[in-house]
Chain A
Amino acid sequence: MLAKRIIPCLDVKDGRVVKGVNFVDLRDAGDPVEAGLRYSEEGADELVFLDITASSDRREIVGEMVGRVADSINIPFTVGGGLRSVDDIRDILRAGADKVSLNTSALERPELVSEAARRFGAQCIVVAVDARREPRSNGSPPAWKAYTHGGRTRTERDAVEWAVEVAERGAGEILLTSMDADGTRDGYDLELTRRIAEPLDIPVIASGGAGNLDHLVDAIVDGRASAVLAASIFHFRQYTIGQAKDHLRRRGVVVR
């Protein structure tokens, strides 16, 4: 059986892990390689590195980090953040990433998804859809818009329609983040996740809102997600990946 995946997400800036990864026993918790290795040894199925480097030499910094990660970690990893062009994508894949994640650049120019999928293969193109609920007037059905720039900028794109479009354009996977749920620890937006995951025939990674292990189960069972992404519940050692896997297994979810 194809296992449901658990994917820790690491935010990196200037080649360093930010947003407090709390492994007390690591020599250098800010080192993406050490943190990534720890997660892979704990049983993480993949890793996502979200790069928020702003400096002018970011290409070199990110490329160097990706290379070091690829040299030492033998599970797949995705790199996202600030990738603007086919050339940017090529550089990151050449440096050793298995997949890239696109958001803002894809919404600004959807052809980028088609071009990248054609050139590098659907399997390495992840589109990150950051979705936020629209205010509801009486009786209107729920709706979500897609956001760019790390969730700061609203677009006129309906998030569900956008997900369908990127799948048609050849994305291999969707990383779906609920901007409403993100940071709340109240659980994933299951309605949004199901709305996008159910009709699509590419995998959807649910993200945003994980606060306990039942939330992971819910995203997979009720939300129909193929994978769950979480940051803080793992970074702050609230749970280990192993505990999360045991919990999913007990609830009948196939995990590695």
Chain B
Amino acid sequence: MLPFTFYSPTKIVFGEDTAYGVGDILKELGGSRPFVVSDANLVAAGVLRAVLESLKEAGLGDPVIFDQVPPDSDLDCVRSASALARQHGCDCIVAVGGGSVIDTGKAANISLVLDGDIRDFEGMHAVPRALAPLVVLPTTAGTGSEVSAVAMVKNKDEHTKLAFGSYYLFPSVAVLDPKLLMSLPPKLTAATGMDALTHAIECFCATTTNPASDALCLESMRMIFQDLCRATMHGDDLDARSSTLIASTMAGIAFTNGGVGIVHALAHTVGARYDTHHGVTNAIFLPYGMIFNMAACAHRFAFAFRSLCAALRAAPEPVGHWFAGASQHDSQAAEQLIEAVRQLHRACRLPTRLRDIGVPALSQDEISELAVVASTDSAIMFNVREASVEDLEYILKGAW
């Protein structure tokens, strides 16, 4: 067995109304002047109410609120956020939102504590020391950013995503309150859930996975297949919301320690170029990436599918039908897993082609350019099968 390191220092607090405990959590962490990062829609929808009440009750005064995070955060946003936090002397951060908000909180924390421009810390382990306490409350169930050591921030000028990776970027505490997800629309619920499923499936087959990540991936897959449709169709179903939220966090811990792969490399590339939603883009590429990886890890897909069958064959329809039985042959069982992914994708009513999400018809030169960029994405280095530029072009064409 290959040596590995598994590290997940973020404390996880799960439960309905746990958002009301944020003030006490921050005080325990030594925070006195909180900086709250979120987006305008969440503020308008009242999603921050519990957090703000909690901060007030804990005597943490009027927090400074930055609610200008766009769906795909960028360097300008991070610089504005950290400047505001510095201006008000903030010493801790609360991020309430999806992956973009949480990543903004992480990146702003770098600029808040360390001197220099945020770009000086781009890379892996380039943050030299501990940052301010960071408490995160995800309002989507997908990115896993609440437990990851990475922040992705867009560079609008260069159409690229910058990666900041460091153990110091792990949030101090992740508060998983399923009630914060109640207002998440069906399409976003489905898209973010497919993002989490992509984390679990890609990590399970990555070159750098390990037994601890594997266990998290398998359980995460089970919970997502079991409950994502329900959470999508019945947003007020707290059990389904809880299940997908926990599954997303588990997949986040897994991929932080085990990596992702070709699907993420392609989704990062297309997303940066055409502003497509990360979860939807992952969902579109996932079956194509799995088919490509079949040659290297059919036995892993088969193992996952057989485990899922054992757990889900008695699940309510349609899920039970997808996992009614597994083939004895690895390649066929692997294909069954890919088909189950497609079924879930369709059941969640997400687009299945790049052309359906705003990616225009591409010339051969444009496809080649995208493929070259994807071939240098950091996610692809963990992929179980080496992919050439031609392989990536083929997948891009198929997914369009």
| Chain A partners chain B | no
Which residues on B are within 8 Å of A, measured CB to CB? Answer: none
Query: Chain A residues in contact with chain B, CB under 8 A?
Result: none
